Amino acid sequence: MRHVLGARCVKCGKEYDAVPGLTNCSCGGILDIVYDYDLIRSRLTKAQLAERQDHTMWRYRELLPVEENTPPTPLRVGWSPLYQAPRLASQLGLGKLYVKDDGQNPTASLKDRASAMAVAKALEAGAQVIACSSTGNAASSLAGNAAAAGLKTYIFVPSRAPKGKVAQLLTFGATVISVQGSYEETFELSKQAIDRWGWYNRNAAINPYLSEGKKTVALEIMEQLDWQVPDYVAISVGDGCTIAGLWKGLKDLYAIGFIDRLPRLISVQAEGCCPINRAIAENEPWHPMEENTLADSIAVGVPRNADKALMAIRESNGIVVNVSDQEILDAQQLLGRTCGVFGEPAGVTGTAGVRKLCQQGVLGCDDTVVSVVTGNGLKDVANAIRACGEPISIPSDMNQLLDAFAARGIQPE
Amino acid sequence: MRHVLGARCVKCGKEYDAVPGLTNCSCGGILDIVYDYDLIRSRLTKAQLAERQDHTMWRYRELLPVEENTPPTPLRVGWSPLYQAPRLASQLGLGKLYVKDDGQNPTASLKDRASAMAVAKALEAGAQVIACSSTGNAASSLAGNAAAAGLKTYIFVPSRAPKGKVAQLLTFGATVISVQGSYEETFELSKQAIDRWGWYNRNAAINPYLSEGKKTVALEIMEQLDWQVPDYVAISVGDGCTIAGLWKGLKDLYAIGFIDRLPRLISVQAEGCCPINRAIAENEPWHPMEENTLADSIAVGVPRNADKALMAIRESNGIVVNVSDQEILDAQQLLGRTCGVFGEPAGVTGTAGVRKLCQQGVLGCDDTVVSVVTGNGLKDVANAIRACGEPISIPSDMNQLLDAFAARGIQPE
């Protein structure tokens, strides 16, 4: 890994060698992987990338903290579609809108990017077992990516995790511990177990390589936009790792000269659980909050990666916006109807934030925005059905169909 | 469409012009699209394909029945991953096994290939509304692909359709009619409604273009295998359209000289609903059956495309095998644990059949098999959870974790 110089604590600046089993700094701070951008510049050009037929996150290997001989992980992670959304942009009054559908990953969320990285690093470390705690998506992505690579997993999820995610975990053969408590309590139990048994740790706020996997979403967005930098990139925020990874990817591209400016981040949280956005809005340190939102993946009252997330939002001169659960469900339907994209509640929270900022006049017809959908709506169908209502239910009878249409004011054409 | 000569009835041989609104032959038979393979040979080479950066089904445009200026549909359909599955192959005693995960499509099933084609043809026809009946996946794929293209949909599903699929339909803004009855009754009501209002018809057994969309799964498998023909391709069978499409794609490639032989098809149905396989096994015409299986997508007692399916299986010197619901759920877990692939019950039925044929000694260590997984397990989590049991549920307490592990004989390492 000549292109990786090491790791540096974002809190105290202490430096570490980039060994596969890196965790937090001795001061408790989170580490950040440091690259030799001059070397990377000499190894990677835009033209080389354009030629590559590897359409997974591993196409960006020169920018990833893995050994040269580390094999790509088995599942096809990354290179999710970036859709231009002209109808939705015009409904919102936005200049240009792109939707990055990261629900189109093997286990149906952006977290596959981090889990594939965890698997690659666990293999480098010679580990046979990986563990994590998660609100659900990190868990199912780890279970799937590890199963494909022949690794065993122990997974800790809060008991509120939706059935879709639990079904994935069990099918992938993980040992699943459903913790009767908050995400914070789930995290604590996983930490104790990982310490006790020495499992490879996939907790994104502890293992600094995971953000590096997540950053590939930013690398892809920019390559898919042919390196034309949008004004804003909007994303939902829970633990803080994802927005931190997004920002890291953008900064990497800036550092190697692939883009000539940086977009502003839009950090979107649920009104019922927004400790990171509150800290930005009030310019205060963050404080824990209740986990009061149906968007389970971002219901994180004690964000484990607040430091990196806050730095990312501030460095980018970012915008923070909180949305209600109803606004989240509205965004889910809006994306479905106008783009054919079905996101889970936390997955569409970024889009809900964009919509709100348009309504507030913060964003408008001069702006180009990328909205990242972080997970597939099939993970949590109960909430989707709650939002949409039930279908027309009738026997196979034309007269009853006519009556049902008439009763609902549907005039077929 | 100079490369398309027309359409021919598979029953009576009557020929038709390939207009966008084609339906069945006047004799009731299903039409098959006929190509000018000499022209296609002159237009498309393997080397050209290898250069293409379009990783969707539209990379095979020269082999698809669309006008040259018909735009590709908005969602990223096709080019799903083909995974080599060495651990599963060795567990089964197979020579080589590949898993084509077609659950990795925008709405999470192979049906997206047909629905994208329907949308393309509807746009050619100037239609604003598309309708279909479906056990669920055709419906949700049509709703999603149509929404992305700005078209309106009317969708008829049997009331047994799993919640995941209904949630997709509603989110994509379809008008959904849930018919209290069998798939057959659902189909009949949709037919009456389509006739009455003149909607563009996406019923795969009526619209001959849809198989042409589905055939892209075969084109991809062969390109992903670098044109090395496997001995067998296994797939689950319901209505019959998918296996017919698969076969059409293979024959196309043979006709233009891209492959030098044809694989044998393995048609897998559920024991509780196997009219097509029964017809092959007994060498009789097919007869209706009950729809008695939890694999909802292939619970089709009156297969609408039996003719094409039977021809495909017979032409390929295919094998038929029926599996129980328990064998389907076992295959679901096997694929999850060994490959990190989570398929819905009907999606993994092909793999269940491969496993059964290995147990019976029909397939073995000399055989190379491709197993197509046709839909994502997130569509139907209730059955997956039923198969896997529940996770360990405890408070955040190490002692209780130790007790729970001990009680289940789990020895962490």
User: What pLDDT, in 10s, does the model give residues A210-242?
Assistant: 999 999 999 999 999 999 999 999 999 999 999
For B10-81, list the strands marked E by DSSP.
15-16, 31-35
Structure tokens at B225: 């295998």
Q: Find chain B residues with C-beta within 8 A of A390's C-beta.
A: 178
Interatomic CA distance for residues B31 and A94, integer angstroms: 46
Q: Which neighbouring-strand residues pair with A101?
A: A373
Please check the confidence at residue A390 and state whether its pLDDT lies above 90. Answer: no
Burial class of residue B245 in the structure, from the number of CB atoms within 10 Å of its CB (0-12 exposed, 13-18 middle, 19+ buried)? buried
Model pLDDT for residues A57-91, shown as the tens digit of each residue = 999 999 999 999 999 999 999 999 999 999 999 99
Model pLDDT for residues B230-276, shown as the tens digit of each residue = 999 999 999 999 999 999 999 999 999 999 999 999 999 999 999 99
Q: Which of B374, B335, B99 is nearest to B221 (CA)?
A: B99
Number of inter-chain CB pairs under 8 A, A vs B? 258
How far separated are the first and last CA of chain B, in Å rounded? Answer: 62
Q: Find chain B residues with C-beta within 8 A of A177's C-beta.
A: 391-392, 394, 401, 404
Touching check for A403 and chain B: CB below 8 Å?
no
Interatomic CA distance for residues A315 and B380, integer angstroms: 43
**Average pLDDT over chain B, rounded to an integer:** 95
Q: Which residue in chain B is spatially nearest to A198 when comparing CA positions? A: B413
* pLDDT, position B204: 72
Identify the helix (H) or strand (E) that includes residue B201: strand B200-201
Q: Which of A302, A232, A304 is nearest to A268 (CA)?
A: A232
* pLDDT, position B234: 98
**Beta-carbon contacts of residue B139 (< 8 Å; ≥ 6 apart):** B132, B133, B155, B156, B157, B161, B165, B169, B174, B176
**How many residues in total does chain B contain?**
413
* pLDDT, position B184: 85
* pLDDT, position A162: 82
CB-based contact A147 B339, cutoff 8 Å: yes
Residue A102 CB neighbours (<10 A): 29
Please check the confidence at residue B182 and state whether its pLDDT lies above 90. Answer: no
Interatomic CA distance for residues B371 and B349, integer angstroms: 9
Burial class of residue B39 in the structure, from the number of CB atoms within 10 Å of its CB (0-12 exposed, 13-18 middle, 19+ buried)? middle
* pLDDT, position A368: 98
- When CB atoms are compared, the residue of A149, A159, A193 closest to B401 is A193
Model pLDDT for residues A125-180, shown as the tens digit of each residue = 999 999 998 878 899 999 999 999 999 999 999 998 888 888 899 999 999 999 99
Q: Find chain B residues with C-beta within 8 A of A197's C-beta.
A: 412-413
- Highest average pLDDT, of A273-282, A380-389, B380-389, comes from A273-282
Touching check for B176 and chain A: CB below 8 Å?
yes
Structure tokens at A391: 């279908």
Interatomic CA distance for residues A258 and A250, integer angstroms: 9
Over residues A246-269, the mean pLDDT reads 98
Looking from the CA of B7 toward its CB, the CA atoms found within 13 Å total 26
Model pLDDT for residues B149-159, shown as the tens digit of each residue = 999 999 999 99
SS3 state at A284 = coil
With bands split at pLDDT 50, 70 and 90, how would you rate the model's confidence at B381? confident
Interatomic CA distance for residues B241 and A56, integer angstroms: 31
* pLDDT, position B304: 86
**Beta-carbon contacts of residue A27 (< 8 Å; ≥ 6 apart):** A9, A11, A12, A14
Helix segments in B256-291, DSSP class H: 275-282
Q: Are A130 and A118 in contact (CB under 8 A)?
A: yes
Q: Which of B278, B373, B262 is nearest to B321 (CA)?
A: B278
* pLDDT, position B14: 98
CA distances to A344, A413, B413 from B113, rounded to whole Å, are 23, 26, 45
* pLDDT, position B178: 93
Touching check for A98 and chain B: CB below 8 Å?
no
Model pLDDT for residues B101-113, shown as the tens digit of each residue = 999 999 999 999 9
Identify the helix (H) or strand (E) that includes residue A6: strand A4-9
CB-based contact A381 B107, cutoff 8 Å: no
Which amino acid is residue A289, in one-letter code? M
Touching check for A410 and chain B: CB below 8 Å?
yes
Over residues B49-61, the mean pLDDT reads 96
Touching check for B385 and chain A: CB below 8 Å?
yes
* pLDDT, position B413: 77
Q: Are A8 and A15 in contact (CB under 8 A)?
A: yes
With bands split at pLDDT 50, 70 and 90, how would you rate the model's confidence at B171? very high
How far separated are the first and last CA of chain A, in Å rounded? Answer: 62
* pLDDT, position B32: 96
Exposure string (b/e) for B158-185, b if CB count within 10 Å is 16 or more?
bebbbbbbbbbbbbbbbbbbbbebbbbb
* pLDDT, position B236: 98
CB-based contact B413 A197, cutoff 8 Å: yes
Please check the confidence at residue A206 and state whether its pLDDT lies above 80. Answer: yes
* pLDDT, position B296: 87
Distance of CA B410 to the CA centre of its chain: 38
Which amino acid is residue A131, in one-letter code? A
Taking the CA of residue B294 and the nearest CA in chain A, the distance in Å comes to 16
* pLDDT, position B136: 83
Over residues A349-371, the mean pLDDT reads 98
Touching check for B292 and chain A: CB below 8 Å?
no
CB-based contact B76 A76, cutoff 8 Å: no
With bands split at pLDDT 50, 70 and 90, how would you rate the model's confidence at B135? confident
With bands split at pLDDT 50, 70 and 90, how would you rate the model's confidence at B92? very high
CB-based contact B196 A146, cutoff 8 Å: no
Interfacial A residues in 2-61 facing B (CB < 8 Å): 50, 53, 55
Helix segments in B284-397, DSSP class H: 306-315, 325-339, 345-359, 381-388
With bands split at pLDDT 50, 70 and 90, how would you rate the model's confidence at B386? confident
Interface-testing mutation among A97, A381, A394, A405, with chain B (most B C-beta atoms within 10 A): A381
Tokens 């054409």 identify what position? A413
**Model-level pTM?**
0.96
**Beta-carbon contacts of residue B51 (< 8 Å; ≥ 6 apart):** none
Interface-testing mutation among B171, B196, B379, with chain A (most A C-beta atoms within 10 A): B171
Over residues A380-398, the mean pLDDT reads 88
Interfacial A residues in 341-360 facing B (CB < 8 Å): 341-342
* pLDDT, position A136: 83
Q: Are A179 and A197 in contact (CB under 8 A)?
A: no
Model pLDDT for residues B4-50, shown as the tens digit of each residue = 999 999 999 999 999 998 999 999 999 999 999 999 999 999 999 99
**Beta-carbon contacts of residue B160 (< 8 Å; ≥ 6 apart):** B296, B299
With bands split at pLDDT 50, 70 and 90, how would you rate the model's confidence at A260? very high
- When CB atoms are compared, the residue of B199, B398, B413 closest to A192 is B398
Please check the confidence at residue A387 and state whether its pLDDT lies above 90. Answer: no
